[in-house]
Structure 1
Amino acid sequence: MSTILVTGGTGTLGTPVLARLRAAGHDVRALSRRSREHPVDLTDGRGLDAAMAGAEVVVHCASSPRGGDDVAAGHLIEAARRAGTVTNVVYISIVGVDVVPFGYYRVKHRVERMLLESGLGVTILRTTQFHDLVATVTDTVAKVPLLPVVLPKGVRVQPVSVVEVADRMAELAVPLPAGRVPDMGGPEVRTLVELGRAYLEATGRGGRRVLALPLAGKAYAAFRRGGNLTPRHAVGKVTFADYLADRS
């Protein structure tokens, strides 16, 4: 069994990854600022050296849409080099980070390049958006009760189950790195408007009016072209309808 570090161990993906690795008998260290055992701040690297000591595998799930993922990755890479025991850094990325000029995607792509150029053993898995993201986006734009729910026109998504992604990440968390592995997408491609309507219906807000609004910009155009999709890697089994049924 291996000693494995999981960053973002209390997050949407990190929590199920952590559970799977511990169930498999690994010595797992969950890194976070509030952890009693392994308090780590990835923004400045504090606590990383102590947490990294003796680790063989790092599963990097921590991420922030507000920015700073590249800075955090830099601290993680340097600590792994100093430790001298890390043979595989497993990183969760997003399908389309190399073709969709969206700020968060660009940073994720930069982290991929940093890892590949680090000299460390690396495994990179790109997935499509989680079902939870569709729910979050819809909830965000539906906050004002009497106004229409406005979603971007013509944007298709291929949502995947976070549970299935966690299973795959746990499989990849082994001492031998695999490089860039095949992408992982959900079982179906639907428009964000369609899924937003389905989510509102499932959460008792089916009467809300949904508008499809065309947007401007290169990122929106890239999403409309399907840069965020991977239909040839539709390996997920859980549909959005399954996700909604499970929530209810």
Structure 2
Amino acid sequence: MTTILVTGGTGTLGRLVAERLRADGHEVRVLSRHSRSCAVDLREGGPALDAAVAGVDAIVHCASSPRGGDEEAAGHLIAAARTAGVPHLVYVSVVGVDRVPFGYYQTKHAVERLVVESGLGWTVLRATQFHDLLVDVFERVAKAPVVLLPAGVSAQPVEAAEVAGRLAELAVGAPAGRAPDLGGPEVRPVESLARAYLRAVGRRRPILSLPMPGRVYRGFRAGGHLAPRRAVGKRTFEEYLLTRFGSALHR
């Protein structure tokens, strides 16, 4: 039986990774600030982190925060993994981190470099945006009388459980380096996805798409965050909406 540590294991993705690994018969340690078994703040490190990584066969690093500290956290995790002799570190990243100069993407890219240069056996999987993320964005912008969206931008949402399943597969295999990207099944204009969300929740809102200034917008408009040749995900955005909102779906 393989013992695997999942960082961020109480979050959206990490929880699914842990569930998949347990279902496949592996022993899982869940690390997060709120975990019952491995309560660790990766930004601080320390003896609790050393104990969490001791004796594991692989680490799946899902922990991330938009508030910052990811590079520091990864540094502590890598140092502890090296000391413990962990043979495999799997990191989940985002498609486009090397093409779109968005702050969060740049941080993810920096963590990728730390993983690659760690001296550990490593695997990096980049995925496109989760269905959940787009719904969160649409929920915020739909609070206004008019839904404002960036003109000319598309998205390729993917099911978080499918990414979790792929991470679980990679974790029990040999270090693979850069694994093939995992993209959702469809590349669609953001306006189309927003209309699907509005139908699902029964809201009527006009949509106004506006051009925006800056390099980040140009990167997204150019499709730097998309992986059309790796549209291997199965579950569509509408299928996700139907499951999430159920009988509230309006057509």
What aligned pairs does 1:42-61 form with structure 2 within 5 A after superposition?
42-46=42-46, 47-61=48-62
Q: Which residue of 2 aligns with 1:8?
A: 8
Q: Which residue of 1 aligns with 2:249?
A: none
1:36-64 CA-to-partner distances (Å, cap 9, x unmatched) read 32111111113210111111100001111
What aligned pairs does 1:132-171 form with structure 2 within 5 A after superposition?
132-144=132-144, 147-171=145-169
Q: Which residue of 1 aligns with 2:174?
A: 176
Q: Which residue of 1 aligns with 2:193?
A: 195
Q: Tell me the distance in 2 between the aligned counterparts of 1:126 and 1:83.
A: 26
What aligned pairs does 1:103-122 form with structure 2 within 5 A after superposition?
103-122=103-122
Q: Tell me the distance in 2 between the aligned counterparts of 1:187 and 1:35.
A: 33
The answer on 1:236 being equivalent to 2:233 is yes
Instruction: Give the fraction of aligned pairs with identical amino acids, expressed as a percent.
Output: 64
Q: Tell me the distance in 2 between the aligned counterparts of 1:192 and 1:131.
A: 12
Q: Does structure 2 retain, via aligned residues, the 8 Å contact 1:134–1:192?
A: no
Q: Which residue of 2 aligns with 1:93?
A: 93
Q: Does structure 1 retain, via aligned residues, the 8 Å contact 2:3–2:27?
A: yes
Partner amino acid, structure 2, of 1:74: G
Partner amino acid, structure 1, of 2:131: H
Q: Does structure 2 retain, via aligned residues, the 8 Å contact 1:87–1:175?
A: no
Q: Tell me the distance in 1 between the aligned counterparts of 2:94 and 2:37.
A: 30
Which residue, 187, 212, 216 being the options, matches 1:215? 212
Q: TM-score of the superposition, structure 2-length normalised? A: 0.95
Q: TM-score of the superposition, structure 1-length normalised? A: 0.96
SS at match of 2:29: strand
Q: How many residues align?
A: 244
Which residue, 216, 223, 227 being the options, matches 2:224? 227
Structure 1 gaps, min length 5: none
The answer on 1:38 being equivalent to 2:38 is yes
Q: Does structure 1 retain, via aligned residues, the 8 Å contact 2:4–2:26?
A: yes
1:153-205 CA-to-partner distances (Å, cap 9, x unmatched) read 11100111111111101100125211101001011111112101110110111
CA RMSD of aligned residues (A): 1.0
Partner amino acid, structure 1, of 2:171: A
